[in-house]
């Protein structure tokens, strides 16, 4: 039986470009991960399911290719209304998805976290459409439940959706499951299915082993979006403190772009940190591979201002054989704990202490480094990927 699937992707992903590579049987050369949209396409091909995929990309596009329809649909911006405008835009986008689902005659909706408020997805159930939220983010930053009244109200409404609205729930980490249980209890968590992000093993297999602890300078790598909530300003403070205490011992590489990049450059100049902090901006995968060759340790200093679902860059680092220093707000800390050193969330001094300890203790460094091989296996195990898990999830939805 053909089951029509509507997939609502969070974020401005270029689904049309990804589809082009998928058709050729290759991965996007700008990605080291196997995109979630590609994994859903793999499932739909295997299940003979027509699919309608929607991204919030501002690059408006519509592609129709037999049983595959892909649309880039920008969210309505009503920011001039403040907080009310945000919630209204979520409602408008959710209703737009519902209209598309009805026209497409969808049987199932897969909706990424962040596409709209979860409770708005209740609307699909009124029309007999199965609903499966896909949690790429946690419900709140781990260890920092919401305090704002508005967010607590949204969470209260989401609670009832998870209990009675969702036919099944999927998530990228155990922290996602824990939070669903905390919010909505056993009824919700009984239909929770975990999956793991999947990566291209070939890229990582060509990267040499991490340098010996004695190779100087001890190099720390950040890869990711250059945003305040990703802890990029904290990195410069950590770097300055470590260089003051141990001149020339450490070097930092920051790879990525984002809205805070120019402000970060200014901060590096102000701190006179150019000698030990290299701002690389966007780098190609070829260049990133070379940078990993020099890297001892990766850092994922996400702050309590972001709902990190896993932290793909932490998984990438471990796949590359590089230990990670991060905090409990990053669920990768638990999923790969033997290859990670835990610092305190939002605490620069805790990170400084941890980096100094790792760089000075051969036994600790070697233990973390050796654990990378075991901890990384889950990210190249296709049985744990979204394609395989969707088999179980959709079967569950139509038998319960």
What's the pLDDT score for residue 240?
98
- CA-to-CA distance for 32 and 23, rounded, in angstroms? 18
Q: 336 and 187 in one domain?
A: no
For 218, the token pair is 């001890």
Q: 250 and 368 in one domain?
A: yes
* C-beta of residue 313 within 8 angstroms of C-beta of residue 336: no
What's the pLDDT score for residue 312?
96
Q: 166 and 32 in one domain?
A: yes
- CA-to-CA distance for 47 and 41, rounded, in angstroms? 10
Question: Which residues, 6+ apart, have CB-to-CB distance to 154 below 8 Å?
Answer: 87, 117, 119
Q: 229 and 344 in one domain?
A: yes
The range of the structural domain enclosing residue 156 comes to 5-198+381-397
**Structure-token match 């519902």, residue found:** 98
Q: 130 and 43 in one domain?
A: yes
Q: 210 and 167 in one domain?
A: no
Q: 284 and 193 in one domain?
A: no
* C-beta of residue 58 within 8 angstroms of C-beta of residue 73: no
324-327 and 340-343: which strand pairing?
Answer: parallel
The number of distinct structural domains making up the chain is 2
Q: 283 and 185 in one domain?
A: no
Q: 31 and 141 in one domain?
A: yes
Q: 350 and 264 in one domain?
A: yes
Q: 211 and 178 in one domain?
A: no
* Helix residue spans in the chain (DSSP H): 15-23, 36-47, 83-104, 122-125, 149-160, 174-184, 186-189, 201-205, 232-245, 261-270, 285-294, 312-319, 332-335, 348-360, 362-375, 386-397
- CA-to-CA distance for 333 and 314, rounded, in angstroms? 9
Put the strands of the sheet holding 297-300 in their side by side order.
Answer: 277-281, 250-255, 218-223, 297-300, 324-327, 340-343
Q: 261 and 172 in one domain?
A: no
CA 383 to each of CA 39, 176, 325, 380, 389: distance values in angstroms, whole numbers, following the listed order: 12, 19, 28, 9, 7
* C-beta of residue 291 within 8 angstroms of C-beta of residue 312: no
Q: What is the CATH number of the domain that holds 76?
A: 3.40.50.2000
- CA-to-CA distance for 394 and 14, rounded, in angstroms? 26
* C-beta of residue 96 within 8 angstroms of C-beta of residue 8: no
User: In whole angstroms, how large is the CA radius of gyration of the chain?
Assistant: 22
Question: Per-residue pLDDT for the chain (400 aa), expressed as one digit of tens each?
Answer: 789 999 999 888 899 999 999 999 988 888 899 999 999 999 999 999 999 999 998 889 999 999 999 999 998 888 677 778 888 999 999 999 999 999 999 999 999 999 999 999 999 999 999 999 999 999 999 999 999 999 999 999 999 999 999 999 999 999 999 999 999 999 999 999 999 999 999 999 999 999 999 999 999 999 999 999 999 999 999 999 999 999 999 999 999 999 999 999 999 999 999 999 999 999 999 999 999 999 999 999 999 999 999 999 999 999 999 999 999 999 999 999 999 999 999 999 999 999 999 999 999 999 999 999 999 999 999 999 999 999 999 999 998 7
- CA-to-CA distance for 237 and 267, rounded, in angstroms? 9
């Amino acid at each position: 039986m053909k089951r029509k699937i509507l997939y609502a992707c969070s974020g401005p992903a270029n689904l049309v470009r990804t589809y082009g590579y998928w058709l050729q049987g290759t991965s996007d050369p700008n990605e080291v991960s196997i995109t979630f949209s590609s994994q859903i396409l793999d499932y739909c091909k295997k299940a003979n399911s027509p699919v309608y995929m929607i991204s919030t990309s501002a690059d408006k596009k519509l592609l129709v290719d037999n049983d595959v329809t892909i649309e880039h649909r920008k969210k309505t911006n009503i920011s001039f209304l403040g907080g009310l405008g945000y919630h209204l835009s979520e409602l408008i986008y959710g209703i737009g998805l519902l209209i598309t689902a009805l026209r497409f005659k969808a049987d199932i909706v897969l909706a990424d976290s962040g596409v709209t408020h979860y409770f708005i997805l209740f609307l699909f159930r009124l029309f007999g459409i199965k609903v499966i939220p896909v949690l790429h983010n946690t419900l709140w930053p781990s260890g920092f439940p919401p305090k704002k009244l508005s967010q607590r109200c949204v969470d209260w409404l989401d609670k009832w959706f998870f209990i009675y609205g969702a036919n099944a729930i999927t998530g990228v980490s155990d922290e996602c499951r824990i939070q669903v249980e905390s919010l909505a209890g056993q009824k919700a968590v009984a239909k929770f299915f975990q999956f793991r992000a999947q990566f291209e093993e070939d890229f990582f297999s060509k990267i040499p082993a991490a340098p010996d602890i004695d190779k100087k300078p001890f190099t720390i790598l950040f890869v990711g979006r250059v945003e305040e909530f990703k802890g990029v300003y904290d990195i410069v403070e950590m770097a300055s403190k470590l260089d003051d205490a141990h001149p020339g011992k450490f070097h930092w590489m920051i790879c990525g772009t984002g809205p805070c990049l120019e402000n970060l450059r200014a901060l590096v100049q102000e701190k006179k940190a150019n000698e030990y902090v290299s701002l690389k901006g966007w780098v190609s995968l070829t260049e990133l591979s070379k940078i990993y060759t020099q890297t001892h340790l990766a850092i994922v200093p996400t702050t309590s201002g972001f709902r990190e679902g896993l932290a793909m860059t932490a998984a990438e680092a471990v796949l590359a054989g590089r230990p990670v220093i991060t905090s409990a707000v990053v669920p990768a800390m638990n999923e790969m704990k033997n290859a990670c050193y835990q610092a305190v969330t939002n605490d620069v001094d805790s990170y400084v202490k941890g980096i100094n300890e790792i760089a000075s203790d051969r036994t600790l460094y070697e233990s973390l480094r050796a654990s990378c091989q075991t901890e990384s296996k889950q990210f190249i195990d296709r049985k744990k990927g979204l394609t395989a898990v969707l088999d179980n999830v959709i079967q569950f939805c139509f038998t319960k």
